[in-house]
Amino acid sequence: MRTLDSSTSLRIAIQKSGRLTDKTMNLLESIGLRFDDYKRNLLVRCRNFDVELLLIRDDDIPEYVQDGVCDLGFVGGNVTAEDQADVTILKGLDYGVCRLSIAAPKNGSLRKADDFSGKKVATSYPVLTKKYFDERGIDVELITLSGAVEIAPRLEVADAISDLVSSGNTLKANGLMEIDTIYESETELIRTNKPLSQGKQSLIEKLIQRIEGQQKAERSRYIMMNAPEEAVEEIRNIIPSLKSPTIVPLAEEGMVAVHTVVPISTFWQVMEKLKQAGASGIVMLPVESMIE
């Protein structure tokens, strides 16, 4: 096993164990990075890239990146915003999507933000919550809790809460209704503002390029269809992104196969039109990566 050389390797902080861990590891693996068992170690060396992962609690990630202990971090925007960390957000990643919302008992009298005036609001996000109420000139008493915020109204510890919501099931199960959104969040790739060596800088650029290729691929589909030769012009008009499709002659006289990559949203919109234009045997395949 190689020894860890933190002076040259790009050090990336990720959540040790939680909602973002597997998704972040899947993302890193999907862009070609390979790691040994990451579940048992705190510091994990990448086998094929000059990168090491530091696995820590998500709450510590913005600060580690801010202080330059780690060069990059994958963490929820909610955590970075709450910490008011001095870091650069390089990229939003579409997982760990949630929102910080205020919520109150369904059968109570709190229906809008103004009604919260003078009330007790339990939260694990005092900074973002205070900012929300301050901006509206509403005076509330914040009760800071580190977890199980949703039961605070039932325990009469607070009148209402401010907490992360994704499906809304937790609120429902606790007889609470969502009243307003304070902050929309997704996982972000953050970078330290401390100066980095040219080597690390170019590693970061490579990683971002791969992530962008992966994101683009995820939103794209490779499609293949058969069509009469004379329909190709119409097919090109139906799919706006179809600038230079691959056209392959088929054994059947006058028939061709058309291959191209399209955004998935476009595919479903145009499929019927393609059939009307004479396309048949339309096949859609996932794309693993796209590098322009």
Considering the complex, state which of residue 39 and residue 47 has its C-beta at the smaller distance from ligand PRT. Answer: 39
Q: Does 73 bind ligand PRT (CB under 6 A)?
A: no
Site for ligand PRT in 27-66 (CB under 6 A): 57-59
Say if strands 72-76 and 10-15 run parallel, antiparallel, or are unpaired: parallel
CB 187 within 8 A of CB 93: yes
Q: Does 146 bind ligand PRT (CB under 6 A)?
A: no
- 10 Å Cβ neighbour count for 63? 19
Quick note: the x/- pattern for ligand PRT over 172-211, rule CB under 6 A, is -------------x--------------------------
DSSP category for residue 157: S
Rounded CA separation 148/122 (Å): 10
Report the residue from 30, 41, 50, 59 that binds Zn ion according to the rule CB under 5 A. 59
Considering the complex, state which of residue 58 and residue 159 has its C-beta at the smaller distance from Zn ion. Answer: 58
Q: Does 21 bind Zn ion (CB under 5 A)?
A: no
First to last CA, the chain: 35
Report the residue from 105, 108, 126, 168 that binds ligand PRT according to the rule CB under 6 A. 168
Residue number with the shortest CB distance to ligand PRT? 76
CB of 239 to ligand PRT, least distance (A): 35
CB of 147 to ligand PRT, least distance (A): 7
DSSP category for residue 59: G
Which strand (E) or helix (H) includes residue 102? Answer: strand 87-105
DSSP category for residue 176: E
In angstroms, what CA-CA distances link 179 with 98, 147, 150, 157, 188?
A: 15, 20, 14, 19, 26
Q: Does 13 bind ligand PRT (CB under 6 A)?
A: no
Q: Which residues bind to ligand PRT, rule: CB under 6 A?
A: 15, 18-20, 57-59, 76, 78-79, 96, 98, 163-170, 185
